[in-house]
Structure 1
């Protein structure tokens, strides 16, 4: 009886607020009604018919604040099963009113002193909030790399500000999600080079989880979200849909490809339905994969002796495929896509001519993909995509209950998570990142989505239609790519060489298993520069040699060795490799 009263009450409340979101409640009600009585089931069915009739006349609009609040009611009902007791607090933290701090803006100039970093670290086993601060400080300051760092003179203070808005018009400040910020202005100078290299955040933040947003009368927008053992593929599909439907030509166009988006006639692709390698259908929508080979054997590669068999339906037998490839095929199927490009399967690996042709088309392959999957959570192709299957990623989220509020340390943003990966150290993966329009990163922390306009992830509720005025904590913390550039209408002197330096500099700090691949692994980038800036009349062969810009050779020749990296000349030995001139 209590369940029925709750259901009826929920239906009445929701219908008064928004009929669209009511479908979530009604579906839940119908599932429960089967186990109650026939009389009550009839009442519920009547309600459902009314709701569905009205719903047909309602247009979905995510910019409504009331819509968000109703969705929060459903979220709260789903998440309030957590009965974790309050964490103990130290004498300093016990005096804080966390509810009031999160309710009101507490500007930096009115920040509350928390004591020294060293004292907070020492109290982390006794105080829940000190434990959260310790967690974010250790990660952001890379304290595991500096175990003997003197932190005794560094003081911390606490303030609170809103962390963005996804709605129009912008609600009142008290209706916006707030985060707790830890200010420690006197960071040790010794850690700065490591922090900059790791791209960790200089802002130390603690977020409120979505199940407690209702306590402040706020929608769940931009609050923390629990990261489960497995990723919700439906959420990933939602990210793709928001981009495709809301960003229009911004995320569809590729500036160096122009209007000609047809795939090269020699391009092959994996059909994940027929499980065969097939010629890429003209203008087909396909997914690309970026991963680390990791020295794994060649038993699963496409070669001359198995190409014919693999070109027939059912010819791709996944028995010998490594986990990264098996999971990527499964993910593409779950997302409702059909075609997937994987280098080891789509390129005949023991055919030098085929490899050369395909390598010189990588700008079209990655630039033309609907999205690219980045397997950035392992060290070889044997590793699974973290979170796609159960027990493939250990929990990374740190949540504490403090004064009845669920607080957590936000997981690293994409740029930081990728910098922690072995994937980001490999040479071939650089252009695969830079040239893709939409990216889905599988990391050891969580799954991220990034396009030209937005960034989404599992641990922050940030899904919304893109608004020019909207802001959110991850907006400028993506990995970035070269597709952000637009075709130049006028190229000032030196612009092309500046872009060349921007593209090539980070690449040269990466590693290659075969050192003689140094030019091949960046050919897609130099192709883009030649085509986009019309260098050598748009012909890469006339504008680049040995990775050096011929049109700006006088500038390219003044490259300098990075003093922070080992001074070693790369080997160029290998089949089909010509000798390097001294100037390259």
Structure 2
């Protein structure tokens, strides 16, 4: 800017800057509060003119220049109107206990910001501008936020507002609230203060301890000593930081059996081609005064299968026990680095308008980028799903600033809110929706546990994997923590205590068998390559927009009606112990479709097949004339396969909507679970060498199943 203070045109001079930069507004309502601070007190907005008018004023007005810069990034209609809100609610909070409030009826305060809005509601056939978060739909009608402004933070005493501070505390420096200038280099002392505040003020609720079995046995084998710049065996009670990043397609230097001795030499990491993201993480950890860092590519011997399997099963513990996790959300590969750690790695994107007694800063919140963090490569990667939700604290690096998120607070470089307490974070929260909000650290009831598992599975399967062989490994940390919390055992991604319920998954869209083979180390220490069993969701791949869905809801809870047995890694047959279903008053009444005396299982020496992961169980089986139906788009199948048992005699294939196809088939079905009282859940199966394989699911009325005459009680081997 040409002068020290901002220049405003005649139109923008009409704005009451004092109102826009007004510090917190007291409120007497109880939280959560729906009262906007400007209702009945200020105009809803002030018109700034059309896009053409604003652009014509850009050289003589600093505010018009800022708005025009945003409009330049998108196609715009010069006749579209812009307006600015004088007061826009940002968040609700309570002041620190040290601040005395003269009015005892004041319960909280509203912090505000101003927003420039592009109004397209009256434009015909308007084609722009599309703001970043609207680029997907290109639906540009209505109104759009162009620019947000916030007052630069001032201390409470500096504000001299009698409703906020008493005479006694007026001269004291009580911290600041509002906007903060973001420099081109990360303020490591600020990051350190966030960690100290979390450790000293948030208490145990912010970082709960893990269940005892995990707490005792789960430590990473290696960590990086950032002072000695080498790998070391993890010290007892180690205080370490973890890194969550995207490997991408660039070469990543890995810890292998042949270089393990070299990596443990002091200073070795200085001379090795370590990716930039890991280098920056080492610099950052050292700068904030910590010593140890855990990074998967260096702290796990990648070609030691036994160690690799052991460490993968510890992922839940590794991330949840970390002091905090650095999230590299800004890049698409391991060489992208952490913006702001080294000089020249981050641009100055924040702008300022300085006036005689206040300063306005532009808001650079990551949620103004396309889709926020949800659209970054990091957020779309399957491995990072568990790394985020299992981390108690995260430090998120976006392109323009750094965020801190723990279970008690959210901080950012651009907003000074560290000294306030009880922030209502509805509009100021960690910029990504995660299932961690629902993750309990206490044992859950079966229904709550089932809902949480379903949500976590759905969220995980929306993400992408580079290698399908990792499909279970990248979910293993979630499984580990859930198993510890619920005293449970997982089998190929399914919780044992809810096994029947977990068996009822189906994709809402098209899915196909992926025939993934996974390496395991057997009880004899030898490596085996095992196919993922067809009954596991991990054996199937589908559109990430249509993840697996579990049967539940209208028909009541899913309950176990079959005794499942599985071949474990030691080639022993063990029974899967489910929690009994106790919600139905007639529980214990023998269903008509079930044999009174199921035959005992044969021993594995008598079974012709005993592959790891196979299920053995007695159930009701029938070969049924059924309708197989699926949705198509052009020549491709896009929907999941659906079955209807016993179609009417006059049914003709392909009846129904034009985008559906159907055919009559003779299909084998088996009962695997029940829903509510009168609904059975069946698996459609195919056979190969005497072993059944899952094809799909269908829910049928128990009475309809009883009408099938060729039903029989049969021992099933499900691979």
TM-score using structure 2 length: 0.58
Shift of 1:379: 1.8
Structure 1: unaligned runs, 5 residues or longer:
1-80
Q: Secondary structure at the match of 1:242?
A: helix
**Is the Cα contact below 8 Å between 1:287 and 1:370 reproduced in 2?**
yes
Name whichever of 240-249 and 412-421 sits farther off. Answer: 412-421
Structure (1/2) with the larger strand percentage: 2
**Is the Cα contact below 8 Å between 2:518 and 2:531 reproduced in 1?**
no
**Is the Cα contact below 8 Å between 2:51 and 2:77 reproduced in 1?**
no
Q: Give the structure 1 partner of residue 113 of structure 2.
A: 179
2:478 is the counterpart of 1:525 = yes
Task: Work out the CA distance in 2 between the residues paired with 1:193 and 1:99.
Answer: 30
2:189 is the counterpart of 1:234 = yes
**Is the Cα contact below 8 Å between 1:433 and 1:481 reproduced in 2?**
no
Q: Where do residues 563-578 of structure 1 align in structure 2 (5 Å cutoff)?
A: 570=514, 572=516, 578=530
Task: Work out the CA distance in 1 between the residues paired with 2:100 and 2:67.
Answer: 31
Higher-RCO chain (CA-CA 8 Å, sequence separation at least 6): 1
2:472 is the counterpart of 1:552 = no
Shift of 1:510: 1.6
Q: Give the structure 2 partner of residue 5 of structure 1.
A: none
Q: Secondary structure at the match of 1:231?
A: coil
Shift of 1:228: 0.8
2:211 is the counterpart of 1:257 = yes
Q: Give the structure 2 partner of residue 501 of structure 1.
A: 454
2:14 is the counterpart of 1:95 = yes
Q: Secondary structure at the match of 2:206?
A: helix
Task: Work out the CA distance in 1 between the residues paired with 2:512 and 2:78.
Answer: 35
Task: Work out the CA distance in 1 between the residues paired with 2:516 and 2:348.
Answer: 43
Shift of 1:206: 1.7
Q: Secondary structure at the match of 1:578?
A: strand
The RMSD of aligned alpha carbons is: 4.1
Task: Work out the CA distance in 2 between the residues paired with 1:117 and 1:570.
Answer: 55
Task: Work out the CA distance in 1 between the residues paired with 2:179 and 2:415.
Answer: 5
For residues 396-424 of structure 1, the C-alpha deviation after alignment (integer angstroms, 9 at most, x for no partner) is 21323468743222121579652353211
Task: Work out the CA distance in 2 between the residues paired with 1:527 and 1:262.
Answer: 14
Q: Secondary structure at the match of 2:254?
A: coil
**Is the Cα contact below 8 Å between 2:51 and 2:76 reproduced in 1?**
no
**Is the Cα contact below 8 Å between 1:324 and 1:375 reproduced in 2?**
yes
Q: Give the structure 1 partner of residue 404 of structure 2.
A: 449
Q: Give the structure 1 partner of residue 593 of structure 2.
A: none
**Is the Cα contact below 8 Å between 1:136 and 1:409 reproduced in 2?**
no
**Is the Cα contact below 8 Å between 2:77 and 2:127 reproduced in 1?**
no
Shift of 1:178: 3.8
For residues 287-328 of structure 1, the C-alpha deviation after alignment (integer angstroms, 9 at most, x for no partner) is 111111112225x21111111232343444443112111111
2:47 is the counterpart of 1:114 = yes
Q: Secondary structure at the match of 2:178?
A: coil
Aligned length: 481
Task: Work out the CA distance in 1 between the residues paired with 2:243 and 2:256.
Answer: 19
Structure (1/2) with the larger helix percentage: 1
Q: Give the structure 2 partner of residue 167 of structure 1.
A: 96
Task: Work out the CA distance in 1 between the residues paired with 2:190 and 2:100.
Answer: 25
Shift of 1:196: 11
**Is the Cα contact below 8 Å between 2:222 and 2:233 reproduced in 1?**
yes
Q: Larger radius of gyration, structure 1 or 2?
A: 2
For residues 84-105 of structure 1, the C-alpha deviation after alignment (integer angstroms, 9 at most, x for no partner) is 342333x432222222443386
Q: Where do residues 179-198 of structure 1 align in structure 2 (5 Å cutoff)?
A: 179-182=113-116
For residues 9-42 of structure 1, the C-alpha deviation after alignment (integer angstroms, 9 at most, x for no partner) is xxxxxxxxxxxxxxxxxxxxxxxxxxxxxxxxxx
Task: Work out the CA distance in 1 between the residues paired with 2:67 and 2:101.
Answer: 30
Q: Give the structure 2 partner of residue 326 of structure 1.
A: 279
2:215 is the counterpart of 1:287 = no
2:62 is the counterpart of 1:128 = yes
